[in-house]
Amino acid sequence: MAEKLTSKQRDTALRGLNGWVYDEASDAISHVFKFKSFSEAFGFMTRVAIAADKAGHHPDWSNAYDSVTIVLSTHDAGGLTDKDVALAKAIDAILA
């Protein structure tokens, strides 16, 4: 099982991510992505779904027309882990 990140590990990891926000209450990171259309948002979700499935780690997310909200936290560990950071980096790379 993945281990929760320490506050120092978390702060270091967040510096390497693009626009992800840490929520202390849920010990999770989140990001709201905006697109030009529903089709673009859905295409992004499809690419993220493939990356998440390959990683064996799946996000909590929602879609409303042209925006996608993603929340990452490792439920088995009870908070933020390296698995979440790795998936956030993969999501950042999809948009690069």
Domain ranges of the chain: 7-95
pLDDT given at position 87: 97
Closest by alpha carbon to 59, among 1, 96, 20, 6?
20
pLDDT given at position 2: 85
pLDDT given at position 1: 73
Distance CA 9, CA 56 (A): 22
29 three-class SS: strand
pLDDT given at position 44: 98
pLDDT given at position 27: 96
Residue 56 backbone phi and psi in degrees, to 5: 65, 30
CATH homologous superfamily, domain 7-95: Transcriptional coactivator/pterin dehydratase (3.30.1360.20)
Mean pLDDT, each 10-residue run in order, the chain (96 residues): 91 95 96 97 97 94 97 94 96 94
Distance CA 88, CA 75 (A): 16
Task: Give pTM, 2 decimals.
Answer: 0.93
The residue with tokens 């936290």 is 73
Q: Residue 28 burial (CB < 10 Å; 0-12/13-18/19+)?
A: buried
Which residues make Cβ contacts (< 8 Å) with residue 4, sequence separation at least 6? 27, 74, 77, 78, 79, 80, 81
